[in-house]
Chain A
Amino acid sequence: MSTGFRLPQGGLIDRNSQYRFSFDGRALTGHAGDSLASALLANGIQFVARSFKYHRPRGIMGAGLEEANALVTLGDGARSLPNAVASTEELHDGLSAHAQHCWPSLNTDFGAVNQLFSSLLGAGFYYKTFMGPGRGPKSWLFYEHFIRRAAGLGKASREPDPDQYETVNTFCDLLIIGSGPAGLEAARIAAEAGLDVILAERDFELGGALLADTGTIERQPAAQWLASQVDRLSKSVNIRVLKRTTAFGLYDGTVAGLVERRDPAQATTIPWRERFWIVRAKRIIIAAGAMERPLLFAGNDRPGVMLASAVGSYLNRWAVAPGRRVVLATTNDSAYATARDLAIAGLSVTLIDSRDRISEPLHRLANNTGIDLRLGQSVRATLGSRHVRTVDIGPANGQGAVGSRLACDIVAVSGGWSPTQHLLSQRGVKPSWNESLQAFLPGRANEPIDCVGSAAGLWRSDDCARSGRAIAAAAAAALGRKAPVEDIPAPGGWETPIRPVRLASDLNLKKIFVDLQHDVTAADILLANQEGYEAPELLKRYTTLGMAADQGRTSAVPALALLSEMANRSVGEIGTTTFRPPFAPVSIGALAGMERDKHLLPIRRSPLHDVVADSGAHMLETGLWMRPWYYPQNAETVDEAYLREMRQTRDAVGICDVSTLGKIAVQGPDAAEFLDRVYVNGFKAMKAGMARYGVMLREDGIVMDDGTSWRLSETEYFMTTTTGNAAKVMAWLEDLLETRWPELRVSLTSVTDQWAGISVAGPHARNLLAANIGELDFANEAFPFMAVRNGVFNGVPCRLARISFSGELAYEVYIGASHGPALWRALRNTAKELGGCAYGLEALGALRIEKGHVGGPELDGRTTLEDLGLGRMASTKKSFIGDVLRQRPDLRRDDRARLVGLVPVTKGEMFKGGAILAEQGQEDGHGLGWVTSVTESPSLGHWIGLGFIQGGLDKWQGKTVLAADPIRGRSTLVKIVAPHFLDPEGTRLHA
C-alpha cells in the first residue's frame, strides 16, 4: 500500500508540513492538521487493533470520540498513555503509537485463539462461573491465569508520571460545550449580550460538523461561515475559547469538570501536559452534537466498516479516501451528502437505503453524481479476512434472501444519530425516546442547563445555528441581560423519515457486534434477554455492554433497538441507562494536578524541627507531622538508640519535643462548666495553678481522646489533646458550644502552632529546669505534682506544669513558638552536662508502655473507660458527654476485652503488636484478645506489652496465653500481668 489514499488537494491540512510518526514501530509521515487516525488512513493503514475479548482484527470506524475500535497506547515508558482514541489524537512530529491487545504483534496474535472459546466468554460468564454455591474461589483459581492475561483495556505504565499537570479554578456566566453551528452562535449571542462566556471544544479546531461540511449554512458556504465566526470569536473579549478541552463531567451547582490537553506543537513552551478545569458556571449550554450509529449485520466489525459521517470527515476535512469502492448503507438522509462528496471525488459509490421511497432532491443528487442507488435494501453480512472484500445485501425488512453480493473496500454505514446527552444524563435528567426520529431527545433539567443543536435532535445546520442563538438569548435574559428573542426550531429535519433495519432471521448473531469495544454480540443480548435480563441496567451488567472506555457511545441505542425487537416492546418503554462521569477517559495525572507527593500531604513541622535536627534526630512521618524518632549516637540502630535514650532518661534526664500536641485555649466565665461536661472527670473544683489528666468520651460512651487541662485562672484553661486528634477535638468542642450549649459563655482558640512544647523527664529534671528557668521555685512543696507555674527563660515568659507521661519526675514546659529553639538548645546543653539526652518518639512510646499509660493503639475508637482500666476516673457527681450510653449493659460486661500487661514466659523472647491472644491449642477463630503496644524494657531487661483480653486481669492475671502471630510466623507464650510495669506506687513521679 502507498500514500495513494491522500487526495491530491483539499482538506484542512498543511501540506507543506511533514510530521514523522510511528505506529507499532513503522515509520510514517503525516501533516499538521491530521489526527493520528487520518494520518494512518492516509498511509493505507486501516487495521489498527485487536478486539478486547476475541482479539478480532479491528479498523478505524469513526472520526471523533465515537471511535470504538482504534484505541492505541501513545508514547513509551513512563509517559505511555493507554486507550488513546486514534481519531481524536492530534498528530505531531515524533508521535509514537502502539496497538493494544495483541501479542506478539497485530498480525500474529495468539489471543485470537479466544475466538474459538467465544461460547465460554458469552454473556454472564463471570456471574455463572464465579458466583453461586460451590463456585467462587476454586473456579477463580482455575481461570485466574487465563483472565488476568486477557483482562483490562490497555496497560498503564508502572513508573511515576514525569509530566506536570495543573488545575484551574474558574467562574463564568455561561459555559458552552461544543463549537459546531449551535455552540458558535450561542457563544456569539451570549457574548454580545455581555455575558462572560467559556466555549470548550474537544477538537483542536473549532467548527464541529462544519469542518467536514461541503454544503451551506445560513446561505453561505459552510467553510466561509465558519471562518468568519471563528474570526469574530477571537476578537470578543467576553469569550474564553478552550480548544482540545473535553467537558467530562457536570456536577451539582452547575460545576463542570473539563480537561484541556496541551497543543503538541507547544510541548517545549507550555510546561503542563494537561489541565483540569473546574468551571463554576451560572448556566451551561450543551452543544455537543450527535453521534452517528452503526448498523447491525454479520461481520459489522470488520476493518473497512466505518460510520458514513467518519468517511465524510476523512474525505472532506483530511483529504483521505480510505478506499476506492464504497458501499454506503443508510437508514436516513444524512449519508447522502457524503455519498455525493465521495462520488465527486471519483470513488465508486453504491448507496443502499433501507427506505423504499426518498425525496425528490435526494433522487436527483444520486442521479447527477452517478451513484448506484438501491432502495429498500440493507447489508446482511460482510466477507473478507483482515479487511472487508464484499457485502451481501437483501431486503431491509429482514424478509427474503440475500439478493446480491457487491465487491467493495469500504462499507460506510449510518444507522441514525444519537444526540450527545451524556452530560445531561449525568445530572439525572432522563431523555425521552422519539420514535419518528429514532433518537433519545433531551429531557428538561431542573438546573440551568440547556441542550442546543444536534444535541437536542436538530439535524439541519441552519436549525442548529438558530437554536444556539435562541437558547443563548434566553440564557442571557435569565441572567438579566437583553438579547434578540428567536423561536427554537423543532427537532428533526429530514425530508424522508428514518427507517430502522430489521434483522433477517438467518443471521449469525455471534458475528453481529453491538458493543465493538467490549466485544458484546447480538447473541449475548439474546441470551441475556432469554435469561430474564431485560432491563437495560441489568443487561448492561450481565453482558458488560457499554461498560468499556467509550461507555457504549455507539452501542447503547442499537442494543436497545435489538432488545426491543426481541422483547417486542418499544425502545421508549425499555428506557435507557444512566451515564456517569467521565464522559471520556481522563488521565489520573490531570485529576491529581499539582496535588501529588508533598503537595497532596503537606508536611507539618514543629517549631523545634531545625534544632532537633541539629541534635541529630532521625525524623519520622506521623500523619502530617515530622517528628524526631530517635537520636542515634555514633552508628546506633533505632533499637540501640531508643533503649539508650530510655536508660539515660530514667537514670539522669531526657528532653522530648512535644510541640505537636493539640493545644486549645478555653476561656470564659463558663469554661469550668464546659470542661466538666466534656471530660469524664471533674475540672470545676480544681484550683487555678493546677492541671489534671482528663478523658473525653464520644456520645456513644466510647473513649475519644485524652490529655491534660491546666487551669490558668478562674476563667481560663489550657487544654492539650493527642497529636492525632487535635483537629477532631477542636471541631467537636466548637460543635458543642455553637449548636448544643449556646448559653455557655466560652471561647475556644486553637493555639497549637503558637506554643513550642518540651517534656523534661528523669531524676535530674528539676535541676535541669532550675538551671534554665528563672523566677520560679522548683522545690517539691512549691511546685508539687500536677501544679502549673509560670517561669521566665531569657526574659521570655514560659508556662510549666509538673506532668508525667513516663513515670519519672517530669515537667512540660511551653514557650512562644519562636523562642522554642533557644529553649531547646539551652535544655539540651544542660541535659548533656547532667548525663542526659534528647529522646524521640520511639523512646517516648516505650516509656509510657513501661508506665502502663494508654496511647493511640489503645484509644482505637472501640474501647470504654472500663476497658482501659480508667473506670474510676468517671465522676459520679456530675453528668458528662457519653455518661449515659457508656452504661449500656453490653459495654459493662465483665467479659469484654480489658487492658492488661503482657510479659514473655521465656524472658529472652519477643512478640509484636497485632498478635492475637489465644489459649494454647485454641488458635482458631478470633481468639480472646489482641496485643496493642510492645517494647523492649531496659528497666526490666525483657520485652513487655499492652493488650486487651476478654475478662481482663480479673480472669487472667498470672495465667499464660499464646500471642499468635501466624502472618509474621511468630508465636510467643506470654503471661498476663498488671499493665503498670514500673514503679506502680509512683515514688519516682513524686520525688
Chain B
Amino acid sequence: MLRIKCPFCGERDHSEFSYGGDANITYPDLAAPMEAWIEAVYRRANPKGPHRERWQHIDGCRLWLIVERDTLTHEIASVTLAKAALAPLVDGQSS
C-alpha cells in the first residue's frame, strides 16, 4: 500500500487519494489547434522510473497534489500542492 504524505493532512494510505494522471502535461489554451489537444489528451510517456503525477486527497483535504513517484519502486520522492498559491495554508511543504 502506497503511503502518501499530504502536505496538509500528513501521511495517509493511498486509498484516501485518487489518481489524476501525468503532472507533466501542459494543457493547451482552450482554443489551441487540434494537434496540441490530441497531444495533451492522448499521448503519454509511460516512463519506468521517476514520474510526476497528480493525485487528489479526495477523502481528506481534497487538495490536488503533485506526487513524484518512481513507477518501478513506488518510492515517493516528494509531495507538493498543485496550486502553489495555496502553499501558505500548510506549515511547510513536505519534500
Instruction: Identify which of residues 522-578 in chain A touch chain B, using a CB-to-CB cut-off of 8 Å.
Output: none
Asked if A742 and B85 make an inter-chain contact with CB atoms under 8 angstroms apart, the answer reads: yes
Are B82 and A884 interface neighbours, CB within 8 A? no
Do A280 and B3 have beta carbons less than 8 Å apart? Answer: yes
- B95 CB, min distance to chain A CBs, angstroms: 18
CB distance from A848 to the nearest CB of B (A): 31
- Whether B30 lies near A739 (C-beta < 8 A) is no
CA–CA, A278 and B74, complex, Å: 19
Contact: B56 with A734, CB < 8 Å? yes
| Size of interface on A: residues with Cβ below 8 Å to B | 26
Which of A446, A734, A884 is B30 in contact with, Cβ under 8 Å?
Answer: A884
- A735 close to B34 (CB less than 8 A): no
Q: How far is the CA of A700 from the CA of B40 in the complex (A)?
A: 10
Known: A885-B37, A888-B34. A255 touches B3 (CB 8 A): yes
Cα(A90)–Cα(B57), bound, Å: 44
- A738 cross-chain contacts in B, Cβ below 8 A: 63-64, 82-83, 86
Residues of chain B contacted by A885 (CB below 8 angstroms): 34, 37-38, 41
Tell me whether A740 and B27 are in contact in the complex, defined as CB-CB below 8 angstroms, given that A255-B3, A734-B62 are known contacts: yes
CB–CB B83/A884 < 8 A: no
Q: For A253, what are the chain B residues with a Cβ–Cβ distance below 8 Å?
A: 1-3, 74
Q: How distant is A28 from chain B, measured CB to nearest CB, in Å?
A: 43
Q: Is A699 close to B, CB under 8 A?
A: yes
Rounded to whole Å, the gap between the CB of B9 and the closest CB of chain A is 15
Residues A677 and B30 in contact, CB atoms below 8 Å apart: yes
Q: Which of A251, A700, A879 contacts B31 (CB 8 A)?
A: A879
Given A699-B37, A740-B27, A735 and B64 touching (CB < 8 A)?
yes
B2/A252 in contact, CB under 8 A: yes
A731 within 8 A of B: yes
Instruction: Evaluate contact between B30 and A255: CB separation under 8 angstroms.
Output: no
Measured CB to CB, the nearest residue on chain B to A727 is: B58
Identify the closest chain B residue to A676 (Cβ): B30
Q: Which one, B13, B37, B62, contacts A884 given CB within 8 A?
A: B37
- Chain B residue numbers with a CB within 8 Å of A883 are 30-31
B33 surroundings in chain A (CB, below 8 A): 884
Chain A CB within 8 A of B54 CB: yes
How far apart are the CA atoms of A740 and B26 in the complex, in Å?
8
Assess the A700–B41 pair: CB atoms within 8 A. yes
A785 touches B (CB below 8 Å) = no
Interface string of B78-95 (1 = CB under 8 A from A): 000011111000000000
Residues of chain A lying within 8 A (CB to CB) of residue B73: 446
Interface centre among B30, B56, B74, B82 (most CB of A within 10 A): B30
Specify the chain B residue showing the minimal Cβ separation from A278: B1
Residue B45 interfacial (CB < 8 Å): no
CB distance A884 to B56 under 8 Å? no
Contacts of A734 in B (CB 8 A): 56, 62, 64
Instruction: For B23, list chain A residues within 8 Å (CB).
Output: 739
* B60 located at the interface, meaning its Cβ lies under 8 Å from any Cβ of chain A in the complex: no
Q: Flag if A884 contacts B54 (CB, 8 Å).
A: no
Chain A residue numbers with a CB within 8 Å of B32 are 884
Contacts of A699 in B (CB 8 A): 37, 40-41
The interface bits of chain B over 11-46 (1 if a CB of A lies within 8 angstroms of the residue's CB, else 0) are 001000010100100010111111001101100000
A739 contact from B1, B40, B62, B64, Cβ within 8 A? B64
* Interface flags, A880-905, vs B, CB<8A=1, else 0: 11011101100000000000000000
On whether the beta carbons of A880 and B30 are closer than 8 Å, the reply is: yes
Which chain A residues numbered 664 to 692 have a C-beta less than 8 Å away from chain B? 677
B-facing residues in A442-458 (Cβ within 8 Å)? 446
B11 shortest CB reach to chain A, Å? 9
Contact A881/B30 with A700-B41, A735-B64 known, Cβ cut-off 8 Å? yes
- For B1, list chain A residues within 8 Å (CB): 251-253, 255, 278, 280
Rounded to whole angstroms, the CA-CA distance of A880 and B37 in the bound complex is 12
CB pair B2–A884 under 8 Å, yes or no, is no
Task: Give bound CA distance, A737 to B34, whole Å.
Answer: 23
CA distance A398 to B73 in the complex (A): 46
Q: Which residues of A contact B63 (CB under 8 A)?
A: 738
Q: Which residue of A lies closest to B81 (CB)?
A: A738
CA distance A884 to B29 in the complex (A): 10
Q: For A888, list chain B residues within 8 Å (CB).
A: 34
Complex: A138 Cα to B70 Cα, angstroms: 47
Contact A735 B31, CB 8 Å, known A446-B73, A884-B37: no
Tell me, in angstroms, the Cα distance from A622 to B78 when the chains sit together: 40
* Distance in angstroms between the alpha carbons of A879 and B32 in the assembled complex: 9
Cα distance A734–B86 when bound, in Å?
A: 13
CB distance from B24 to the nearest CB of A (A): 12
Given A280-B3, A879-B30, A884-B31, A735:B41 Cβ within 8 A: no
Residues on A with beta carbons closer than 8 Å to the beta carbon of B85: 742
- Give A743 Cβ to nearest chain B Cβ, in Å: 9
Q: Are A887 and B34 in contact (CB under 8 A)?
A: yes
Please name all residues of chain B whose beta carbon is closer than 8 Å to the beta carbon of A884 when the two chains form the complex. Answer: 30-34, 37
Q: Is the CB of B30 within 8 A of A731?
A: no
Q: How far is B15's CA from A278's CA once the two chains are assembled, in angstroms? A: 13
Give the shortest distance, in Å, between A565 (CB) and chain B (any CB): 35
* Complex-state Cα separation, A879 to B29, whole angstroms: 9
- B39 shortest CB reach to chain A, Å: 11
Residues of A within 8 A of B74 (CB): 252-253
Binary contact track A53-68/B, C-beta < 8 Å → 1, others 0:
0000000000000000
Closest chain B residue, CB of each to CB of A889: B34
The complex places the Cα of A894 from the Cα of B83 at a distance, in Å, of: 42
Select from chain A the residue with minimum beta-carbon distance to B72.
A428
What is the CB-to-nearest-CB distance from B94 to chain A, in angstroms, rounded to a whole number? Answer: 15
> What CA separation (Å) do A738 and B57 show in the bound complex?
13
Rounded to whole angstroms, the CA-CA distance of A881 and B37 in the bound complex is: 10
A735 touches B2 (CB 8 A): no
Complex Cα gap A879–B30 (Å): 6
Beta-carbon contacts under 8 Å, A716-745 to B: 731, 734-735, 737-740, 742
Distance, CA A742 to CA B85, complexed state (A):
8
Q: Which of A677, A738, A888 has the largest number of chain B CB atoms within 10 A? A: A738
Decide: B54 and A735 in contact? CB cutoff 8 A: yes
Q: Which residue of B lies closest to A740 (CB)?
A: B27
Of chain B, the residue at the smallest CB distance from A878 is: B30
Smallest Cβ-Cβ distance to A739: which chain B residue? B82
Residues of B within 8 A of A742 (CB): 83-85
Q: Which residue of A lies closest to B28 (CB)?
A: A884
How far apart are the CA atoms of A440 and B76 in the complex, in Å?
Answer: 30
CA distance A883 to B28 in the complex (A): 12
Within 8 A of B (CB), among A873-931: 879-881, 883-885, 887-888
Nearest A residue (CB) for B75: A446
Q: Which residue of B lies closest to A883 (CB)?
A: B30
Q: Residue among A446, A740, A742, A884 with the most chain B CB within 10 A? A: A884
Q: Please indicate the chain B residues that have their CB under 8 angstroms from the CB of A677 in the complex.
A: 30
Other-chain contact of A731, B2, B18, B34 (Cβ < 8 Å)? B18
> A260 CB to closest chain B CB, in angstroms?
19
Which of A255, A739, A888: most chain B CB closer than 10 A? A739
Q: Which residue of A has the minimal Cβ distance to B27?
A: A740
Q: How far is the CA of A699 from the CA of B2 in the complex (A)?
A: 29
Q: Which residues of A contact B31 (CB under 8 A)?
A: 879, 883-884
Question: Which among A699, A881, A887 has the greatest number of chain B C-beta atoms within 10 A?
Answer: A699
- The CA-CA distance from A738 to B74 in the complex, in Å, is 25
Nearest CB of chain A from residue B14's CB, rounded to whole Å = 8
Closest Cβ of chain A to B18, distance in Å, is 7
Once the chains are docked, how many angstroms separate the CA of A699 from the CA of B20? 14
A–B pairs, 7, beta carbons within 8 Å: A252-B74, A253-B3, A738-B64, A738-B83, A739-B64, A879-B31, A883-B30
Q: What are the nearest 8 A-B pairs in CB distance?
A: A879-B30, A879-B31, A253-B3, A738-B64, A255-B1, A738-B83, A884-B37, A739-B82
A: residues with CB less than 8 A from B are 251-253, 255, 278, 280, 446, 677, 699-700, 731, 734-735, 737-740, 742, 879-881, 883-885, 887-888
- Extra 13 A-B pairs, beta carbons < 8 Å, given A742-B85, A884-B31: A252-B3, A253-B3, A700-B41, A731-B56, A735-B56, A739-B23, A739-B83, A879-B29, A879-B30, A879-B31, A883-B30, A884-B30, A884-B32
